[in-house]
Amino acid sequence: MQFREISGAWISTRCHFLRRPALMTAIAGRALTAASIAAPVSALAQDNILATATLPRDLSPWGMYINADPVVKAVLIGLAFASLVTWTVWLAKNLELWKATRNGRSALAVLNEARSLAEANSRLGKSDETVARLLRTAVHEVQMSPHPDPEALKERISWLLERVEASSSRRIGRGMGLLASIGATAPFVGLFGTVWGIMNSFIGISNAHTTNLAVVAPGIAEALLATALGLFAAIPAVVIYNVFSRQIGGYRALLADGSALVMRLVSRDCERVSSAHISRAAAE
């Protein structure tokens, strides 16, 4: 009798439960909601684990270089070498221009005070300075023409002085083409490294099946490092090129002044020779 009562109560409760479909729907909805929340949480946990596994331990410039793609590493090494070349040219050219300008001004002062080619040649001696070479060129041409026509002599000396100036200008301008090349190409080389690095980053994103920023950011940072280094190499090269262009222009003007002073001394000597011939002819 007791068993029948218990069985009847269980059947009655089950029938009462089955008569409430809303309650069953609510329970099923809660189960689905819990499952939908659990899936993203699981995916997020996997992304965090993957990010932790692939994130470089050091995001300093050196750490990014160590973890960069071989092509990006080659670009970074080339840009660093270009920057080293730029500063080496700056140091060497600064010393060369400073020395050439100082010696040229000293030689101009001697030419300005001298009264003849012989006097200026004796005072300048055998200096390797360009203005002294201009003077020696004129003296040599005068010695090779013992009884010259003054106008023809001046014309020949003028041609020779122009050649000496051109040679000196080419010599003082060495290294300028290198600076121009670095300034023009370094940003594009850095951009190539950036494009290559970003391309590899997107390939890594595709392989990892995740868009977590911790996975994407290191590769993009390594790529942008190439652009930064390209600008670091190009900007000083352009600035140094412009500064040296002005200084070389000033040095060329100094050489032109030296040629003018040498031609003045040649003209004076020619006038003395002509006056001596006239006086000799009058005496005869």
DSSP line for the chain: -HHHHHHHHHHHHHHHHHT-HHHHHHHHHHHHHHHHHHHHHHHHHHHHHHHHHHS-S--SHHHHHHTS-HHHHHHHHHHHHHHHHHHHHHHHHHHHHHHHHHHHHHHHHHHHH-SSHHHHHHHHTT--SHHHHHHHHHHHHHHH-SS--HHHHHHHHHHHHHHHHHHHHHHHTTTHHHHHHHHHHHHHHHHHHHHHHHHHHHHHHHHHT---HHHHHHHHHHHHHHHHHHHHHHHHHHHHHHHHHHHHHHHHHHHHHHHHHHHHHHHHHHHHHHHHHHHHHHH-
pLDDT in the model for residue 230: 92
Mean pLDDT of 41-60: 48
Q: What is the pTM of this model?
A: 0.70
Tell me the pLDDT tens digit for each residue of 84-110.
Answer: 999 999 999 999 999 999 999 999 998
Label residues 47-86 b or e (16+ Cβ within 10 Å = b). Answer: beebbeebebeeeeeeebbebbbeebbebbebbeebbebb
Residue that wins the pLDDT comparison between 251 and 50: 251
Confidence of residue 70 (pLDDT cuts 50, 70, 90): confident
Which candidate, 104, 115, 98, places its Cα nearest to that of 164?
104
Q: Are 273 and 149 in contact (CB under 8 A)?
A: no
Amino acid at 194: T
Tell me the pLDDT tens digit for each residue of 106-160.
Answer: 999 988 888 888 888 888 877 788 888 999 999 888 888 776 678 888 888 999 9
Joined together, the tokens standing for residue 158 give: 């003028």
Q: How many CB atoms lie within 10 A of CB 175?
A: 19
Amino acid at 234: A
Which candidate, 192, 197, 229, 233, places its Cα nearest to that of 216?
197
Query: CA 159 to CA 188: how far, in whole Å?
Result: 44
